[in-house]
A and B are shown apart, each in its own frame.
Chain A
Amino acid sequence: MALWVDKYRPRELSKLDFHKDQAANLRNLCKQSDFPHLMFYGPSGAGKKTRIMCLLREMYGSGVERLRSETMTFTTPSNRKVEVMTVSSNYHLEVNPSDAGMYDRTVVIDLIKQVAQTHQIEISGQREFKVIVISEGDELTKDAQHALRRTMEKYVATCRIIISVNSTSRIIPAIRSRCLGIRVAAPNETEIVSILQNTCKREGLALPVELAKRVVDKSERNLRRALLMLEAAKVAKAPFTANQEIPDLDWQVFLRETASQIISEQTPAKLEKIRERLYELLTQGVPPNLIFRGLVEQLVNNCDMSIKAKTLEFATEYEHRMQSGAKHIFHLEAFVAQFMNIYKSSFLSWS
């Protein structure tokens, strides 16, 4: 029993559904004995991970698909134990250092040192290096990125690093310049629709085009989200109809409600209630920058241009502060308060 997302994930570079030219380039890259560090960048759900796995398979054969998950423990200089989940095969290791929070530096360095100081035993026909896949690379702290940059050079003989990031903006130039960047754009609408329809065909279901289009719309061209939504929709109502309901992401619904509450009333008491809701979102693990973005998108809807500009100005300022602060909630609340103030005063002067 697997999710459709995994079940129908292409396993080989030649079988990828879109960006076929790029896939061909990647295959060429694998044919050579040498191989630089890579950085895959693109929005969420564009298929970065799929491409990385295909690439690894191309290099090492099907052995990379024998995955096991393991929890590794690292000890920070301050003697704190950090646990990180990893997925690995004999040839590669995949890790999410961002799960270690502020201790990601230790994780990155220790991991690479451990891996790099071991050699592949069967060199025949295999690569002489292993691959470390770092996902969510843009969540790495600056500290960890700085640490990574020299380590990458130092252990280049025994290991290669593939970083997967949503955007290169947050990656320090030193790392960007050490990696070959591979841009993975999100698939366009027709591509997603055809993938959805193929999937349904293989599942033995008929998918009306209207529904497929609506799924694409709702998923914001995020293929993973589209597939998950479709599967959830199928679970809700088995033979698809064109106008059936597509499940929402609950945190987005929650965020929309929060935004409309902010619009409805601008008082400290309301702000207090909003704070509770923001806490709720944060405890569910929704990253604060997504909350920021979602709030801005919703809040500016009914405002005129000058308020929009002001809102964005404050949003950028507080979001930036949030990056250098530790308490995300402070800055989220500051933004909400600021917006309430702008909205209220403009409303007063208008009426």
Chain B
Amino acid sequence: MQAFLKTGKSTAGTGDKSQGAPAARRKLPAPWVEKYRPRNVDDVVEQSEVVAVLRKCVEGGDLPNMLLYGPPGTGKTSTILAASRQIFGDMFKDRILELNASDERGINVVRTKIKNFSQISASSVRPDGKPCPPFKIIILDEADSMTHAAQSALRRTMEKESRSTRFCLICNYVSRIIVPITSRCSKFRFKALGEDKVIDRLKYICEMEGSCYRLKGPEHVINTADLFEMSGVIPEYYLEDYLEICRSGNYQRLEQFVREIGFSAYSVGQMMEQFVEFIVDHPGLNDPQKATICDKLGECCFRLQDGGSEYLQIMDLGCCIILALK
């Protein structure tokens, strides 16, 4: 390990920079995810309302305290980074403190690091004389994993430093943020991306990357079995088999089938997600049956998300379906 670490000089901070300007310095290998992060609020895909509000803010040169929430991968972090880059230009680095769950973020950090940063005064002119908004932004990524104590400590700081600092909290679950904080922020909800927007963006990226991908075309990419395989989607016939076996009411067969799923390494969580739609649209079930099954399905999904065992959850679901279909 030591030798492993010593092979090169430490170049701390390259990671940081690659986010903002991935290809600016020597062409570092960066995944497309980083390379095609939007640099501008208008580049942000979908979230039109949020973008509209933010654009106004950027034009006015001011930002409210913000709380961005929504499912992962909808561009929350990208949006705020892009917005602040537009507002601050080159001074972007100095005016932003980004903290995420990988940094220590207990109550002490709120008390020291955040406070110290928020107390630095920010001038209203850039070094080159252009005007610039006189505040800094603190981005608290993954704010829902902050402890309640730290959140409570934060709310006082937010008020006290409101003249010179804007806070931007990013989270997946807004319910995990304490109410005093949400009431101090303007909330922006990011919705899941629509299919066509994704295709547009992928097309654009493919064009940028060169011709080899253009031949196939993005629609093709999205619908092939290959990509299904990559994203872990389970083939439809598994779901049909599952329901069929449950209909037969044979526990042994159910167990056999569940083992088979395990061997084939498909994710039970994924399967349950697909199963919801499958059940809801299924013509062969009556409404009470659907209700019973979906009720159980919800419970099992929740437990699974919370770390429950795959085998037990899907067996439980299976038993429930067997009883419901009897």
Direct contact of A and B (CB under 8 A): yes
Which stretch in A4-12, A114-122, A256-264 binds the other chain? A114-122
CA distance A156 to B34 in the complex (A): 9
Expressed in whole angstroms, the Cα–Cα distance for A117 and B22 within the complex equals: 17
The residue from A34, A46, A90, A174 contacting B31, defined by CB atoms under 8 A apart: A34
Given A89-B4, A158-B15, A289-B309, A150:B265 Cβ within 8 A = no
Q: Which residue of A lies closest to B22 (CB)?
A: A157
Interface residue? B316 (CB, 8 A): yes
- C-alpha gap A183/B229 in the complex (Å): 8
Kindly state whether residue A178 has any CB partner on chain B within 8 Å.
yes
Q: Which residues of A contact B4 (CB under 8 A)?
A: 88-90, 93, 115, 130
Expressed in whole angstroms, the Cα–Cα distance for A117 and B18 within the complex equals 13
> Which residue of chain B has the shortest Cβ distance to A40 in the bound complex?
B265
In the bound complex, do residue B268 and residue A173 qualify as a contact, i.e. CB atoms below 8 Å apart?
no
Q: Is the CB of B319 within 8 A of A309?
A: yes
In the complex, are the beta carbons of B265 and A119 less than 8 A apart? no
- CB within 8 Å of B: which A295-334 residues: 296-297, 300, 305-306, 308-309, 312-313, 315-317, 319-320, 323-324
Contact A128 B29 (CB under 8 A): yes
B7 interface neighbour in A43, A90, A149, Cβ under 8 Å: A90
Q: How far is the CB of B307 from chain A (nearest CB, A)?
A: 4
Assembled-state Cα–Cα distance A68/B316 (Å)? 44
A167 within 8 A of B: yes
Contact B29 A154 (CB under 8 A): no
List of B residues within 8 angstroms of A46 by Cβ: 263, 265
B270: interface (CB < 8 Å): yes
Shortest distance in angstroms between A89's beta carbon and chain B's nearest beta carbon?
7
Q: Report B49 CB to chain A, min CB distance, Å.
A: 23
**Contact segment of B87-95, B97-105, B199-207, B274-282:** B97-105
- The reply to whether A120 and B7 form a contact with Cβ atoms under 8 Å apart is yes
Q: How far is the CB of A209 from chain B (nearest CB, A)?
A: 21
Q: Taking A88-B1, A154-B15, A154-B19 as contacts, is the C-beta distance between A117 and B265 under 8 angstroms?
A: no
A150's partner among B100, B305, B316 (CB-CB below 8 A) is B100
Q: Tell which of B141, B172, B249, B263 touches A305, judged by Cβ atoms closer than 8 Å.
A: B249
Q: B71 and A184: CB pair below 8 A?
A: no
A154-195 near B? 1/0 per residue, CB < 8 Å: 111110000000011110011011101101111000000000
Which of B1-16 touch A at CB < 8 Å? 1-12, 14-16
> Taking A147-B102, A169-B268 as contacts, is the C-beta distance between A117 and B10 under 8 angstroms?
yes
* A70, CB-defined interface residue at 8 Å: yes
Using a Cβ–Cβ cut-off of 8 Å, how many residues does chain B contribute to the interface with A?
Answer: 71
Q: Mark A112-154, 1 if CB is under 8 A from B, else 0.
A: 0011111111000001111000000000001100111111011
- Is B213 among interface residues, defined by CB-CB distance under 8 A? no
B145 to chain A: closest residue by CB: A146
User: Which residue of A has the minimal Cβ distance to B31?
Assistant: A36
Q: For residue A186, which residues in chain B have a CB less than 8 angstroms away from its CB?
A: 262-265
Among A109, A167, A220, chain B packs the most CB atoms within 10 A around the CB of A167
Cα–Cα, bound, A167→B313 (Å): 13
**In B288-326, which residues have CB < 8 Å from any A CB?**
300, 303-313, 315-316, 319-320, 322-323
A183, B266: Cβ atoms under 8 Å? yes
| B15 & A155 in contact (Cβ 8 Å cutoff) | yes
B215: chain A residues within 8 A (beta carbon): none
Residue in chain B with minimal CB distance to A77: B104
- A139, closest chain B residue (CB): B307
Residues from chain A with a CB closer than 8 A to the CB of B264 are 183, 185-186
Q: How far is the CA of A220 from the CA of B232 in the complex (A)?
A: 23
For residue B309, which residues in chain A have a CB less than 8 angstroms away from its CB?
289, 292-293, 316, 319
Q: Are A34 and B230 within 8 A (Cβ)?
A: no
Residues of B near A308 (CB, < 8 A) are 251, 319
Known contacts A88-B4, A186-B265, A308-B319; A324 and B14 CB within 8 A of each other:
no
A41 an interface residue at 8 Å Cβ cutoff? yes
Is A43 a contact of B265 with CB atoms below 8 Å?
yes
Contacts of B14 in A (CB 8 A): 157-158
A156 engages B145 (CB within 8 Å): no
Write out, one digit per residue, whether chain B residues 165-206 have a CB within 8 A of any chain A CB (1) or not (0): 000000010000000000000000000000000000000000
B270 adjacent to A148 (CB under 8 Å): no
Residues of B near A251 (CB, < 8 A) are none
Report the nearest A residue to B229, measured CB to CB. A183
- On chain A, the residues within 8 Å of B305 by CB distance are 169
In the complex, the chain A residue whose C-beta lies closest to that of B303 is: A320
A279 in contact (CB, < 8 A): no
Does A254 make an interface contact (CB < 8 A)?
no
Task: Establish whether residues A154 and B269, one from each chain, have CB atoms under 8 Å apart when the complex forms.
Answer: no
Q: Which of B31-74 contact A (CB under 8 A)?
A: 31, 33-34, 71-73
**B-contacting residues, A56-109, CB 8 Å:** 68, 70, 72, 77, 86, 88-90, 93, 109
Residue on A nearest B10 in the bound complex, by CB: A117
A146 surroundings in chain B (CB, below 8 A): 101-102, 142, 145
Separation of A317 and B12 alpha carbons in the complex (Å): 46
Report chain A residues within 8 Å CB of B33.
36, 153, 178
Contacts of B116 in A (CB 8 A): none
Q: Which residues of B contact A221 (CB under 8 A)?
A: 263
Given contacts A184-B265, A309-B320, A320-B303, contact A72 B15 (CB under 8 A): no
Contact present for B18 and A156 (CB under 8 Å): yes
Our pick among A90, A169, A289, A306 for the contact of B304 (Cβ within 8 Å) is: A169
Contact B29 A34 (CB under 8 A): yes
Q: Of A116, A129, A289, A296, which one neighbours B29 at CB under 8 angstroms?
A: A129
Please name 10 pairs of A and B residues whose Cβ atoms are closer than 8 Å in the assembled complex, sorted by A.
Answer: A37-B31, A109-B102, A117-B12, A118-B8, A154-B19, A158-B14, A167-B268, A293-B311, A296-B312, A320-B308
